[in-house]
Structure 1
Amino acid sequence: MPVMDGVEATRCIRAGRAGDPSIPIVALTAYVLKGDRDRFLEAGMDDYLSKPISLEELDKVLRRMHDRSRDN
C-alpha cells in the first residue's frame, strides 16, 4: 500500500483511529517466513493467508470469520 503497510493500518484500525476497531482483518501476504504469521496476529489481525492462496484455505478463513461474528 502506498501510504502504510497492513500492519500499520491494522494498528490504526484497532486503536480506533480509522474505521471500526472490531472489523475482521485477514492478512493476505507473500510473507511466509517463520514468525511472519505471529507478527501479523500480534499486530491485531484476526487471521492470516499466504500467497498463493488456495480456495480451500480462503474458505476456511471466511468460515472462521463468519463463526466469530456470530459468536459476538
Structure 2
Amino acid sequence: MAGRPDLGRADLVTMLAELNATPVEQVSERVGSMELAWLVHLVEQRYDRRLDLTDEQLASVRTVDDALAVFHASLTAAADG
C-alpha cells in the first residue's frame, strides 16, 4: 500500500461505536485512553502491522481527528519505509 492509507474518520467512529455499543451518531469526539488502546488494536489488525507510536504521539490524541492524523502518519511512514 503506497501513499495515504484508506483509513478514514468514519472508520474510527464506527470502531468506537462498536466498543461503546452506541450508534455512530452518539460517539463522542473525545478519545480516552481505553478508546485509544482499542483503536490502535483494531487499526493494527486491519492493516496487519504494528503501529510504532511514540509516547508523544499517544499523548497528543485527544479527539477522533487527532487519532486519525497519528494513525495516518504511522501507516504512511510504514508504507514508505
Asked if TM exceeds 0.5, the reply is no
Structure with higher helix content: 2
Structure with higher strand content: 1
